[in-house]
Structure 1
C-alpha cells in the first residue's frame, strides 16, 4: 500500500486536474470501522468503509482514481494527493474519540470525558517518535462538551495519537484508545523569508521539528501577566522576566538567541495582557538585529488576540503563525523597521477598531515596512479594508506574498512602493471591491498564477491604464488611485481572471496600450520584459529579477487549483479554518467596501469556549526528543572565516565596542544581501584574535566615503576594488599573525565594515 501511495503522489506531481470529480458515495468519518481515506490536493478528505470497497484503481496515464463499491463508483479526476487506510478503534469501552486529524506540522484529537478521569495523558507516535511519546499537558484542554489535545512540532508523515484517562494520578490503560492514519504535512517554506537563510525561521527547523535546545513557553489569559522565563540580557548576565511583554522585551538587549516557541492558548484580550510595548499596535517584538529564533504560535484552532496586534521591529528569524487577530487598534500585524528573514503565515486577520474614514475596518491588516527577506503566506484576510501595505516610502525588498486568501478584502494586495524584488503568486482574490495588486514608486512586481474572482481591478500601475481610465470617478478623472505617485511595473504570468471591471495588458506598437497598461503579460514564465517597456510616469523599467539564476526555488500551485488549495484543509488561515466562521454573500459583498455591521458585531462579541487547561501554566518545557537543526549556522574557528555585521557579529571571534553603532550599508556580495555594517567613526571599533595565520579581506560599503581603516593604530595602505552594482569596496588582503590581538578603527574617513574574510595562509 505504501508503494501505491507513493506512485499516486509521484504521478499527480505530473498530472493536473482534469474533468470534474464524481463523488456520491463517500461517508462520514467513523472511528469504529476500518476506512479508506482519499486525500485531495485541496487537503479535503473523503472516507469509505473498507467493507464497502471492492477495489481502488489508478489510471497511470491520467492520474484518475476510481473507488469501486457495491453501490457504484466514485471518480477523482487527477485531484488526489494520497490515500491512507485507518484502523478502527481497538477499545470500544475506552475513551470515546470524537474527531482526529493531521494538519500542518501538528495533529489533534477530540475526545469525550471518561467517567472518573481527573486528567488525561496523550501520546504521539510517528515521524521522529518511534514509540508513543507523551505530549505536554498544556496541550490538553477542555471545551466543556469535549476535550482536545494537539501534538505540535511534527515533521511530515503519518501519525497516531493515544489518549489515556488518569484517575487518582494513575493511568487507566483499560480506558485508553489509539487513533491512527493522521496525515501531517509541512508548512510551505517557499519564498524570500527562507532565501539564503542559514537555518529555519523561528524556533523550528525546516522539517517542522523544534531546534536543538529550544524552549517552549505556554501563555493563556491565566498567566499572560505572571508567566516567567529566564532571559539573557548581557554577555554573562541573565534575568528572570515576568509577563509575556517583559520576556520578549529582553531581546532588545541583543544577546538572547536561544530558540523559543511561545505557544498561545485560547483568547487573549487587552485586559488579560500586561502593559504592551506599542501603544498603537500592541504586543511589541523587538530585537537588536540578532538571530532571535523566535516563534509565536497558536495552539489548536482558537488562539486569538482581541483588541491588539503585533509589531515586529529590528528582528531576524522571527515567525508568527496559527493566530487570529481581531478588533486591533491600528495594524493587525506590522513588520516595521530593520527586519530580515521574518515570516507571517496561517493567520486569520479580521476587522480592527472602527476609526472612521479609510480606517473604518482598522488600519493595515498586515503591513510590511523597513523589512528585507520576508514571506507573507497562507493568511486569511476577512473583508479587510487596507490589506497589505508594502513600504510607507521606506526601504522594503525581497518580499513574497503567496497562497493568501483575500476574502472580500478591498485593496492593497499588496500596495507596493520602491521594492525591486516582489513576488505575488498563488493568491486567491475572492470578491475584492477596489483593486488587487498596486504598483507605484518604481517598484518591480512579478504577479504569477493567481486566481482573481470578481476583483474589480486585478492589477493597477499608478497613473496609467485602468488606474486613470477607470480607477477613480469618471473616465475623465486623471488623479488615479495612488496619490499621483510614479508608477511601478508589473510582469504577469498565467493568472486567471473572471468578473473584473478592467484589465489592460501591454500591447506592443499600440497607440494607447503600449503606454496605458496594467501589466506586461508573458506567455512563458522565463520570458523577459523588454527594456523599452517602461511606466508612463517615472519611466521605470522591469529588472527581470525573476529570471535571475539566484532566484529562489519554489513549486507553484496550478492556477486552476488555487481556490481549492487556498480554501482547503491545509490552506490559508488557522487550523480547522479557526473557531470563528462567517459566510459572505457574494451577491452583495463582492462590490461592497463598507463595514459589514453583522460581522463587526460578531467580532466585538467573540468569546472563547475554552474551559480548562490540564497542564501547569507556570512551567517551561522542552522538546522531549530534540532534533538538531539540519542547517545550523556554524562559527568555524578552523579554515577560512567569514564574519558579517548585519546588526551584530556573525562569528564569536569578533567583538565590537559598547560604543559602536551600526549603519545601513545595503550591499550585495556574492549574491548575499547585507543591510547593516559596523560604523567606524570616532567611537567604532572591532577586535579579534585569530588562532592561525590569515590574510584578511575587508569589505566596506560605498555608502560611506572611507576606503581605508586603522589596524592596530596603523593606517592600511593596500588598494581596493569598487563594485558599483553591489555597492561595496573590497580591500586587497592584509597579512595577520596567529595569536595577535587586532583592533580595527576609523581610517582617513568614516567607513562601514560589512564583512571580514579571513583566508588561511597554510590550510
Structure 2
C-alpha cells in the first residue's frame, strides 16, 4: 500500500526518540538493557508479503521488545547480529565486514532489527547472510529456520559475494530503505524455499546482478510454492539485470518500481507467476520477459508505463493475485518517477 509522508515522519521520530534515550542511558553496548518504546508512537510494521501471518509468525516485527543497542565497530556489530532473541541493532557510521573464511558473508540470527542511524550508516566489504547452511536434502521448512528480520536505512557496498543473501526457508524478512551498490554477486538474493518477504523503497545502482529469486532451474523441490516476495517502490537506477530474475515463485508482486537505464527489468521463468503493476520503465531494453532461459514463466501486467524501451512487456497465463494475501493501494504508474527517487534509499525514514 502507499507509504505517505506521515509514515516517513513517524519513522524519523522513532529514531530520534531512541537516540535521545540512548544518550542518557547508563548501560554500555556490551551489556544492553531493554528500552521501553516511546509512549505515544506506534511501532512501524512491514507491508506486502512480510506482513502476512504465516508459518507461526505474525507479520514481521524484527527485534521489537528486545534491547536497543548501537554498534560502532565491527566486533560490536557481529556480536549483536548473532545473539539469540530479539534485539534492535542500530548502526553508527561505517562498519567494514571482514572476508575471513566466510567470503565476507555474516549470519544474522532470528528476531533482529538492523537499522542505520541518520544517513551515513554503511556496511562495506562483506554482506549479511540470513539463513541456515545450504542443503539440497532439506525440502520443507525446518523448525529452526531463520525468521523475523528487518533491515533498514543502511548503505551496502563492496561485498566479495552478495550484499544480502536469504536462503534455506528463512521467512518474514523486510528489507526497506537501503542503498545497494558494487557487490561482486547479487544485491539481494532470495532462494532455497525462503518465503514471506518484502523488498521496498531501496535504491540499487552501480550493480550488475541485482535480485535473484529462486536458486536454479533444478531447485523446484525447495522453491516451488514458496518464494512469495513483494518488491515495491524500489529505484533500479541503472542496475543492469535481474530486477528481479524469478524461478518457480508464485505470486511475486512487483509494483510501483522505477526502472531507469537497465538491460532488462523482470524475468519470469520455470513457471513462476509474477504480477507486474504500476511500474515505470525508462530506457530499459527488455522491461519484462517470460521467454528467458529454462521453461517459460507467467506474468500478468497492468498500468505499467514504458518510455524509450526497445521491447514490450511479455505476458503469459494467469497468476494468483497478491490481494488474496494482503491489502495494498498502489500509486499510479505516472506518479512513480517523482515518488520513488524522492523516497527510496537511506536517510528517508
Give the alignment's TM-score, normalised by structure 2.
0.80
| Alpha-carbon separation, structure 1, partners of 2:298 and 2:38 | 41
Match of residue 387 from structure 1: 210
1:650-698 superposed Cα distances (whole Å, 9 cap, x missing partner): xxxxxxxxxxxxxxxxxxxxxxxxxxxxxxxxxxxxxxxxxxxxxxxxx
* Per-residue Cα deviation, 1:471-528 (whole angstroms, up to 9, x for no partner): xxxxxxxxxx53xx11101000111111100115xxxxxxxxxxxxx115xxxxxxxx
1:400: Cα distance to partner? 0.8
1:441-464 per-position Cα deviation (integer Å, ceiling 9, x unaligned): 1111100111111111111112xx
The separation in 2 between residues aligned to 1:388 and 1:430, in whole angstroms, is 15
Q: 1:220 corresponds to which residue? A: 72
Partner of 2:78: 245
Task: Choose the corresponding residue for 2:298, options 465, 473, 489.
Answer: 489
Q: Quote the Cα distance in structure 2 between the aligned partners of 1:431 and 1:325.
A: 21
Q: Distance in 1 between matches of 2:273 and 2:91?
A: 37
Shift in Å, 1:420: 1.9
| Cα distance change of structure 1 residues 153 and 365 upon mapping to structure 2, 3 Å threshold | farther
Aligned residues of 2:253 and 2:322 also touching (Cα < 8 A)? no
Alignment of 1:449-598 (within 5 A): 449-462=278-291, 481-482=292-293, 485-503=294-312, 518-520=314-316, 541-542=317-318, 544-546=319-321, 550-568=324-342, 571-576=343-348
Confirm or deny: 8 A CA contact 1:347 1:379 kept in the other structure.
yes
Q: 1:310 aligns with which of 128, 135, 138?
A: 128
Give the 3 Å change call, closer, same or farther, for CA 576–375 of structure 1 in structure 2: closer
The structure-2 alpha-carbon separation of the partners of 1:402 and 1:281, relative to structure 1 and needing over 3 Å to count, comes to farther
Q: Secondary structure at the match of 1:268?
A: strand
More strand by share: 1
Give the one of 181, 188, 197 matched to 1:374. Answer: 197
CA pair 490-200 structure 1, distance change in 2 beyond 3 A = closer
In 2, Cα distance between the equivalents of 1:336 and 1:547? 22
Task: Give 2:113's aligned residue.
Answer: 295
Q: Deviations over 1:171-215 (max 9, x none)?
A: xxxxxxxxxxxxxx98673210111255452446xxxxxx34x20
Query: What secondary structure does 1:565 align onto?
Result: helix
How many angstroms apart in 2 are the aligned matches of 1:155 and 1:431? 45
1:377–1:403 CA contact under 8 A, matched in 2: yes
Distance in 1, Cα, partners of 2:48 & 2:128:
22
Give the corresponding residue for 1:49: none
Find the residue that maps to 1:317 and give its secondary structure: strand
Equivalent residue, structure 2, for 1:201 = 60
Structure 1 distance, partners of 2:237, 2:175, is 18
The structure carrying a bigger helix percent of its residues is 2
Structure 1 residues 556 and 189, CA gap change in structure 2 (3 angstroms): farther
Match of 1:327 among 142, 158, 163: 158
Shift of 1:320: 0.9
Gaps of 5+ in 1: 1-12, 14-40, 44-80, 83-101, 110-122, 140-151, 158-184, 205-210, 228-243, 252-256, 287-291, 353-361, 463-480, 505-517, 521-540, 578-763
CA 1:186–1:555: 2 relative to 1, 3 Å: farther
Q: Secondary structure at the match of 1:338?
A: coil
Return closer, same or farther for 1:250/1:293 CA change in 2, 3 Å cut-off: closer
Please show how residues 104-119 of structure 1 align to structure 2 within 5 Å.
Answer: 105-107=11-13
**Residues in 1 aligned to 2:213 and 2:10: alpha-carbon distance in whole angstroms:** 27
Distance of 1:547 and 1:245 partners within structure 2: 36
SS of residue matched to 1:446: strand
Q: Distance in 2 between matches of 1:263 and 1:336?
A: 24
Q: Deviations over 1:672-726 (max 9, x none)?
A: xxxxxxxxxxxxxxxxxxxxxxxxxxxxxxxxxxxxxxxxxxxxxxxxxxxxxxx
How many residue pairs match? The answer is: 315
Residue 173 of structure 1 aligns with which residue? Answer: none
Check whether the contact 1:446–1:546 (CA below 8 A) recurs between aligned residues: yes
Q: What is the alpha-carbon distance in structure 2 between the residues aligned to residue 188 and residue 455 of structure 1?
A: 33
Q: State the Cα distance separating 1:155 from its structure 2 match.
A: 9.3
1:134 is displaced (CA, Å) by 4.7
Relative to structure 1, the CA distance from residue 104 to residue 382 in structure 2 (aligned partners, 3 Å threshold; closer, same or farther) is farther
Q: Residues 200 and 419 of structure 1: is their aligned pair in 2 closer, same or farther, counting only changes over 3 Å?
A: closer
Structure 1 distance, partners of 2:43, 2:301, is: 28
Is this contact kept in 1: 2:53–2:59, CA < 8 A?
A: no
Contact between 1:440 and 1:488, CA under 8 Å: does it hold in 2?
yes
Partner residue in 2 for 1:268 = 95
Contact 2:52–2:58 (CA under 8 A) maintained in structure 1 = no
Evaluate the alpha carbon distance shift between residue 423 and residue 138 of structure 1 in structure 2; reply closer, same or farther with a 3 A threshold.
farther
For 2:31, the equivalent position in structure 1 comes to none
State whether residues 244 and 266 of structure 2, in contact with CA within 8 Å, keep that contact through their aligned partners in structure 1. Answer: yes
Partner deviation per Cα, 1:198-243 (whole Å, 9 max, x = no partner): 5452446xxxxxx34x20121112xx32x4xxxxxxxxxxxxxxxx
Shift in Å, 1:376: 1.0
**Larger-Rg structure:** 1
The whole-number CA distance in structure 2 between the counterparts of 1:155 and 1:378 is 27
Specify the SS of the correspondent of 1:136: helix
The higher-RCO structure (CA 8 Å, 6+ apart) is 2
TM-score, normalization by structure 1:
0.38
Cα distance in 1 for partners of 2:258, 2:9 equals 21
Residue matched to 1:342: 173
- Larger mean CA deviation between 185-194 and 331-340 belongs to 185-194
Counterpart-to-counterpart distance in 1, 2:310 and 2:71: 47
